[in-house]
Structure 1
Amino acid sequence: MTDRELLELLVEKITSMEEKLRRVEESQIRMEDELVAKVKALFDAREVQLDVNDRILDSLSRIEGKLDRLSLKVASHDSLLKKVK
């Protein structure tokens, strides 16, 4: 193999490697962009879930308060019924 052929082969290999590196870099950039979008979506979903949880806890608190008041009323009515009998 002559020096010229060797140089041409090396240039061809380097060109091929540069092209492969370019594709890898493009792929990496695309994956990073997709990852950022997915992390943002997860964060948004978490925020929505936290809001839902807060609303559920507020509703539960109101229901517990109503249940406590009803329990007191029932106890009062039971007491009145026992006096009537």
Structure 2
Amino acid sequence: MLDDKVMDLLAKILENQTETNSQLIELTSRVRKIETQAENDLGYKIKALYDAREIQNEKNDTIICALERIETKIEILQMETAHVRKIK
């Protein structure tokens, strides 16, 4: 009688352990799927950020060149204005 109870208890423990192991395998599979999806999303977002940074750098370079040209023109106009003031 005691042996039967011990065997039943061991059978239940084994059943629970098997079920837990099955759930762990399923959970591991889901985690891997989520991990892969996160890596893909992150890769896409990093590429988008890099592309946006490159575009912004190009725009900044264009603006800097335009400002340098404007600065040069202003300096020339200041010299011409100073020259005209001396003449008057």
Distance 1:5 1:76 in 2: 104
Q: TM-score, normalised by structure 1?
A: 0.86
Distance 1:48 1:65 in 2: 26
Q: CA deviation at 1:37?
A: 0.8
Which residue identity is paired with 1:26?
A: K
Is 1:11 aligned with 2:25? no
Report the count of equivalent residues: 81
Unaligned runs of 5+ in 1: none
Report the aligned-residue RMSD.
1.3
Distance 1:36 1:42 in 2: 10
Q: TM-score, normalised by structure 2?
A: 0.83
Unaligned runs of 5+ in 2: 1-7
Is 1:46 aligned with 2:62? no
Distance 2:74 2:9 in 1: 95
Which residue identity is paired with 2:39?
A: E
| Matching residue within 64, 67, 72 for 1:65 | 72
Q: CA deviation at 1:42?
A: 1.0
Partner of 1:80: 87
Distance 1:36 1:21 in 2: 22
Distance 1:8 1:25 in 2: 26
Partner of 1:21: 28
Which residue identity is paired with 1:70?
A: L
